[in-house]
Structure 1
Amino acid sequence: MATNGLNVIVTGSASGLGAATAKILARDGARLVINYSSSQADAETTAEECRKLGAAEVVVVQGDVSKDDDCKRIVDAAAKWGGLDALINNAGITKHVAHHLLDQLSAEDFQRLYAVNTIGPYQMVRAARSLLSAGAKAAGRASAVVNVSSVAGISGVGSSIAYAASKGALNTMTLSLSRALAPAIRVNAICPGYIDTPWFTKGRGAEEAKQVRDMVVAKVPLKIASSPEDIAELVCFLATPKSNSMTGEMVRMDAGMHLG
């Protein structure tokens, strides 16, 4: 998938899906802003791997997308390029709580998840809008925003009710932004199911994470646990001119989980 030196910001790209996405873009000579909130060592490792893969330039920026000033600082790191071709809103958090345990989710839990998963992408788009518009003008085609959502936001499943709600709000916001920012900026979302990353291990421990993985493989029609690289290919498709006629879409990629 040729990116021809695209200028791209990937939030939450120290590891997992964000890192896998950055590496795919790097192979085609993209200029990248790698963003992390707390894992600087992982971010620097990802950045170095991107350089070795052929990225034209890599900048590492610490920032919490729930903070508007941090969002502006992340975007400022790309200003020297004169424009952006894509913003990939990948940063996200959760709290693992079984859905029937209502007393274990507080208002503060909802507020924190919404701050990162929903308000964060909005603030990133707002901060990056002028650079995305400049990129579109220079390229003669729309630039792209890709919001990394989840099947949780469609089906009300997932690690907690608060997480599902925050991703449902992100899906709705994707539709609103796709109308508001056209024709210069395309806005789409991906809705992956289970991804085989340390996400569940950090939240539930190694033993329970393995149980979740085994359960997913047993239940989904394709009998696979999607890798970060699997999902990253879709992210990059939506971030590049390959999807130039797509906006306002929520593309589900869940190994058939939604089929029941």
Structure 2
Amino acid sequence: MSLAGKSVIVTGAGSGIGASIAERAARSGARLCVAGRREAPLKELAARLGTPVEVVAVDVAARDAGERLVAAAMDRFGRVDAVVNNAGLARFGKLEESAAEDFDAMLTVNVRAPAELIRCALPQLRAHQGAVVNVSSVGGVLSMPARSAYGASKAALNSLTRSLARELAPDVRINAVLPGPVDTPLWHEAGLTENETDALRTSLLSATPMGRFGDGDEVARLVCFLIDPEQSGWITGALMPVDGGRTA
């Protein structure tokens, strides 16, 4: 796999799956524009990658986030070849206990922000026969009791992926990866108590045939495969689970 010379935007790159995607893409030769809400972890990531990296501290929920990211990549690298919409927001809980504000926030981060970044990057993606990978979740295709709003936002992202794949073909390829349970900081930001988090993790582990959680690099390898036109040039509109058999 080679991404040599490719300019790739990765959101949510400060930790977890996003950092793993940036690291894997860098090892494959990509030049990176990495985004996240906090500058410090992005700078730490950039320092260890050993490849040209543009750091943009931005909340993808901001209305101008897409324009800022594309402008930063263009200023530094002069082109955009791929976009990885990895930034995500999870708020878990039963419907009657959930706040409308949390639902709105998940729809903004998990659906609107990826659509807006794709829209802003489209001229460049079309010019370079580029690719988009949306990092979704198995929650978008499985029933998710006590996590219904999160699952609905990821189902919407899956639908966006498939529709845009047809709308933008053959110039731009758009696919999604659907991770199962992966050890990331997301677990500690989902609005659950420690006991609730432990119980959820235990139930997910028991429902995963491979008998373990995934790690970020296992997702990152599939993402980088999907943005490499030599490896996946005839794949678009795919929703690819990487989930230890969770959706089997």
Per-residue CA deviation, residues 197-217 of structure 1 (Å, 9 max, x unaligned), is: 121133335554444334333
Determine the structure 2 residue equivalent to 1:223.
211
Identity value in percent: 39
Contact 1:147 1:190 in 2 (8 A): yes
Letter in 2 for 1:86: A
The alignment status of 1:202 with 2:195, answered yes or no, reads: no
TM-score, reference length from structure 2: 0.93
**Paired positions, count:** 245
Determine the structure 1 residue equivalent to 2:121.
128
Give the 3-state SS of the residue equivalent to 2:118 in structure 1. Answer: helix
The alignment status of 1:148 with 2:141, answered yes or no, reads: no
Per-residue CA deviation, residues 91-146 of structure 1 (Å, 9 max, x unaligned), is: 1101121xxx322223322211101100000000001111112222xxxxxx1000
Letter in 1 for 2:239: M
Q: Which runs of 5+ in 1 are unaligned?
A: 137-142
Determine the structure 1 residue equivalent to 2:16.
16
Determine the structure 2 residue equivalent to 1:181.
168
**C-alpha separation between the residues in 2 aligned to 1:244 and 1:68?**
32
Q: Which runs of 5+ in 2 are unaligned?
A: none
Give the superposed CA RMSD.
1.7
Letter in 2 for 1:232: A
Per-residue CA deviation, residues 200-242 of structure 1 (Å, 9 max, x unaligned), is: 1333355544443343333311112100111111111111121
Letter in 2 for 1:227: D
**C-alpha separation between the residues in 2 aligned to 1:145 and 1:82?**
18
Contact 1:84 1:134 in 2 (8 A): no
Letter in 1 for 2:39: Q
TM-score, reference length from structure 1: 0.89
Higher normalized contact order (CA 8 Å, seq sep 6+, divided by chain length): 2
Determine the structure 2 residue equivalent to 1:258.
247
Letter in 2 for 1:233: R
Determine the structure 2 residue equivalent to 1:239.
227
1:81-120 mapped onto 2 (5 Å cutoff) = 81-97=77-93, 101-120=94-113
Letter in 1 for 2:237: G
